[in-house]
């Protein structure tokens, strides 16, 4: 599906950069247009793939290019002040081919946390196409300020979008991803999952490989719905040498090799698809949640055409229907001629039982109460400290 993407703040910009890299190296073409918005000059300078003219510095008159110091109210002001410039930058390359908008931000900081809901709201007012959010939740050990910012921002982001797809940094860290190299591994994981989802609906790039079972953008849009939260599962497997399509197989036939097809039997392909679907659903989700609270789901199976089959995809859909106890499960494939892996992506949309968000809100409320108490004590103690008896 063709997206116009706006990355707001540091995390928003860095993840946008990785999605552009993913799109360029795989030639998938799902990024129609990309704009990075930030109040910090150094963050914009650090981007590698967003073209210079699509990097917008906002709030110079307020923070002079130095960022918001993790203050979402300042972030919101910086973005509001430049909303018409952001609008023009997005509008410059938005065409009738744009299927949807995606606004990306880390919800625990300042610029993205305060600014992303404002950008999403404005795009929703101007365009008829859906506006989605990709929100990054802070890990629990980042502390109270980040939790408060994220809890407030999430509420506003959900209200301003058709769906917020969430990625929990804390869950990724506990699953063994490292923060070394400034989130490099985590951002790679984000680009793989969301790049797979959005490129799956971009069927123009597939040429002759389009089969009737292929997922198109309307299926993604119907799965994401009108409002709510989404979590994504993913699993992939390298195909054994004998089953890979492309150059190797052709060459061996060229050299007088076996005339038999080199691919595994359809039974193997079916089993592989169903076992990957289980791993994707039951393994690490971008937002850990109770799977049976899903409102709508989608399974996308990608890989070389010979490793995909209708039977496997149907079995995967049935299994997901039973596991999520949800009847609105769509399924399809995304054939990629040159791939040597089969991957399954599972979209759990409209999830409502999310313990992480309850903890986030609790952490936010505790931190708010503690900050108020501390402020009151500090005022009192400062008065005691400065007052003295003149006698």
Q: Can you give the binding site for ligand GDP, defined by CB under 6 A?
A: 9-11, 14, 67-68, 75, 106, 108-113, 136, 138, 142, 146, 169, 183, 186-187
Listed residue (42, 75, 49) closest to 187, CA to CA: 49
Shortest distance, position 297 Cβ to ligand GDP, whole Å: 24
Q: What is the DSSP string of 23-36?
A: HHHHT---EEEEEE
Shortest distance, position 353 Cβ to ligand GDP, whole Å: 23
Shortest distance, position 329 Cβ to ligand GDP, whole Å: 29
- DSSP letter assigned to residue 162: S
Q: Which is nearer to ligand GDP, 186 or 344 (CB)?
A: 186
Shortest distance, position 1 Cβ to ligand GDP, whole Å: 23
Continuous H helices in the chain? 9-26, 41-45, 60-63, 72-81, 83-92, 111-126, 144-160, 169-174, 180-200, 217-224, 247-254, 266-282, 310-324, 355-386
Q: Which two tokens stand for residue 96?
A: 């009738």
Q: Which is nearer to ligand GDP, 68 or 217 (CB)?
A: 68
284 is in an annotated binding site: no
3-state DSSP call for residue 336? coil
12 is in an annotated binding site: yes
230 is in an annotated binding site: no
Shortest distance, position 184 Cβ to ligand GDP, whole Å: 8
Q: Which residues are registered as beta bridge partners of 5?
A: 34, 102
Q: Which is nearer to ligand GDP, 155 or 218 (CB)?
A: 155
Q: Which is nearer to ligand GDP, 37 or 214 (CB)?
A: 37
381 is in an annotated binding site: no
Q: Which two tokens stand for residue 174?
A: 């506990």
13 is in an annotated binding site: yes
How far out from the chain centre does Cα 40 lie?
22
106 is in an annotated binding site: no
Q: Which residues are registered as beta bridge partners of 342?
A: 237
Q: Which is nearer to ligand GDP, 157 or 319 (CB)?
A: 157
Q: Which is nearer to ligand GDP, 329 or 364 (CB)?
A: 364
Shortest distance, position 209 Cβ to ligand GDP, whole Å: 32
Q: How many CB atoms lie within 10 A of CB 207?
A: 8
112 is in an annotated binding site: yes
Q: Which two tokens stand for residue 390?
A: 């003149």
Can you give the C-alpha Rg of the chain in angstroms? Answer: 23
**Feature table: binding site for GTP:** 10-14, 110-112, 142, 169, 187
**Feature table: binding site:** 10-14, 110-112, 142, 169, 187
């Amino acid at each position: 599906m063709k997206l116009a993407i706006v990355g707001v703040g540091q995390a928003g910009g860095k993840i946008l950069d990785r999605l552009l890299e993913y799109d360029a190296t795989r030639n998938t073409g799902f990024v129609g247009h990309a704009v990075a918005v930030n109040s910090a000059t150094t963050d914009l300078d650090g981007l590698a793939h967003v073209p210079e003219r699509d990097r917008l510095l906002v709030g110079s008159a307020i923070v002079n290019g130095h960022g918001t110091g993790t203050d979402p109210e300042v972030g919101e002001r910086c973005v509001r002040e430049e909303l018409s410039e952001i609008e023009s930058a997005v509008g410059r390359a938005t065409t009738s081919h744009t299927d949807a908008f995606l606004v990306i931000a880390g919800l625990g900081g300042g610029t993205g946390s305060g600014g992303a809901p404002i950008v999403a709201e404005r795009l929703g007012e101007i365009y008829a196409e859906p506006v989605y959010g990709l929100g990054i939740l802070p890990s629990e050990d980042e502390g109270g300020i980040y939790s408060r910012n994220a809890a407030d921002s999430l509420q506003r982001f959900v209200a301003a979008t058709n769906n917020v797809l969430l990625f929990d940094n804390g869950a990724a860290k506990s699953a063994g991803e490292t923060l070394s190299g400034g989130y490099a591994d985590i951002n790679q994981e984000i680009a793989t999952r969301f790049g797979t989802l959005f490129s799956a609906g971009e069927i123009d790039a597939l040429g002759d490989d389009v089969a009737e079972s292929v997922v198109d953008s309307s299926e993604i849009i119907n799965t994401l719905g009108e409002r709510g939260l989404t979590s994504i599962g993913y699993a992939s497997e390298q195909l054994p040498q004998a089953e890979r399509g492309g150059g190797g197989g052709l060459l061996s036939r060229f050299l007088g090799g076996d005339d038999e097809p080199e691919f595994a039997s359809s039974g193997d392909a079916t089993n592989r698809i169903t076992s990957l679907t289980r791993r994707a659903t039951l393994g690490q989700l971008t937002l850990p949640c109770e799977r049976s609270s899903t409102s709508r789901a989608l399974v996308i199976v990608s890989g070389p055409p010979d490793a995909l089959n209708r039977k496997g995809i149907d079995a995967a859909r049935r299994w997901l229907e039973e596991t999520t106890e949800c009847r609105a499960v769509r399924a399809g494939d995304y054939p990629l001629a040159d791939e040597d892996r089969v991957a399954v992506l599972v979209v759990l949309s409209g999830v409502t039982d999310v313990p992480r968000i309850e903890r986030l809100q609790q952490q936010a409320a505790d931190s708010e109460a503690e900050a108020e108490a501390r402020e009151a004590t500090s005022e009192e103690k400062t008065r005691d400290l400065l007052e003295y008896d003149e006698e």
